[in-house]
Amino acid sequence: MLTVALPKGALLKESIRRLQAIGLDFSLFLDASNRLLQIVEPTGTAQALLVRAQDVPVYVEYGQAQLGIVGYDVLREKHSQVAQLADLQFGTCRLSVAVKQTSPYRSALELPPHCRIASKFVHCAKDYFNQLNLPVEIVPLSGSVELGPLTGMSEAIVDLVSTGRTLKENGLVELEVLFESTARLVAHPLSYRLNLDQMSAWIDRLQQQSDLTASTAAPLKMPVGN
């Protein structure tokens, strides 16, 4: 049976809609009363695992899931050994360097050597500043990264930005964009090569779906009751 790892959070609803459009219905995960983390879709063709976004490539890499949907930002940070098959063209955001609006710095290169940079994306931040040949101290945080500059713990942050509203409301401004991120379809490399559970057919359908917009796609059918 085909197993798909789905990310909790911002990408979940559209991931489920894309899969539903090709005949795999995991909309039970959107039912507020549901507490299951592993479900089989109604036709019995496939099952899905609901996991933290950061864990999607881990489940795929170790073969507990043959396919997964996850943000490119996670893939860059995790360096997981998975096959990246398609850009699904939703969940668009960017990983950026930001500072307080009152900061004198207006580019990353202006930041002082050995200053502190707060981030959830430790590896991406390190790689970026290494490329700039700018030595900095990366302060790992798991939440409320914006507080770093506000409290004086860090000079800047490296964090995901979607609309920029959170930065603005907290008195921060973007300096640089490290890279753009969208949802990606990934696969377990060996399962992909062997085409286990007819993976290639499902992958082809999802790749075709990546060209569709939300306005032209079929509406999501919500589960009724329990």
What dotted CATH number matches 93-180? 3.40.190.10
Task: Provide the pLDDT for residue 80.
Answer: 87
Predicted model pTM: 0.88
Domain boundaries, the chain: 2-91+182-209, 93-180
What dotted CATH number matches 2-91+182-209? 3.40.190.10
Would 2-91+182-209 and 93-180 be classified into the same CATH topology? yes
Query: How many angstroms separate the CA atoms of 224 and 215, rounded?
Result: 24
Chain-centroid distance, C-alpha 191: 22
Task: Provide the pLDDT for residue 194.
Answer: 92
5: nearest Cα among 87, 45, 64, 82: 64
Query: How many angstroms separate the CA atoms of 37 and 212, rounded?
Result: 28
Output the tens digit of pLDDT for each of the chain's 226 residues.
999 999 999 999 999 999 999 999 999 999 999 999 999 999 999 999 999 999 999 999 999 999 999 999 999 999 889 999 999 999 999 999 999 999 999 999 999 999 999 999 999 999 999 999 999 999 999 988 999 999 999 999 999 999 999 999 999 999 999 999 999 999 999 999 999 888 999 999 998 877 664 445 445 444 444 3
Virtual CA dihedral for 83, 85, 91, 95, nearest 10 degrees? 50
Contacts of 79 (CB under 8 A, 6+ apart): 123
Task: Provide the pLDDT for residue 212.
Answer: 63
Task: Provide the pLDDT for residue 193.
Answer: 93
